[in-house]
Amino acid sequence: MDIKLDEDFDVVIDGTNDLAMVSGAAEFEQEFRQGLAVYFREILGNTNQTNTRRKIRKRASDIAQDSPFVNSLESIQITETEPGVLDVYIHYNIDQEFEMRLI
């Protein structure tokens, strides 16, 4: 269980004025989104580097494999939807899917 963060990584307050929490798939997806965003912003910095997609795929795979929630990693797809924007799609645990955008 972890504190829930919104898409800007700000803490979310629930309806009872308390910290919202996440667990299970939502917790993994939040961890994945945060870990990959930090890696992209602080290490890679942009999509213009050589092997950017390979590096992001490797980091995404490492995050998934380190998670106790992920039993199997089915696929990771990375597409450049427009210049400087990558969409990362992950399919895991046979029936779970998750997508995020790196800008």
What integer pLDDT is reported at residue 83 of this predicted model? 87
pLDDT band at 32 (very low <50, low <70, confident <90, very high): very high
Give residue-wise pLDDT tens across range 56-90: 999 999 999 999 999 999 999 999 888 888 999 99
Q: Which two tokens stand for residue 22?
A: 């996440």
**In this structure, is residue 6 part of a structural domain?**
no
- Please tell me the distance from the alpha carbon of residue 95 to that of residue 79, in angstroms, as a whole number: 21
Whole-angstrom CA distances from 65 to 7, 11, 16, 87 are 23, 26, 35, 20
Is residue 62 within 8 Å of residue 34, measured between CB atoms?
A: no
What integer pLDDT is reported at residue 40 of this predicted model? 87
**In this structure, is residue 15 part of a structural domain?**
no
**In this structure, is residue 12 part of a structural domain?**
no
How many domains, in total, are found in the chain? Answer: 1
Q: How many CB atoms lie within 10 A of CB 33?
A: 20
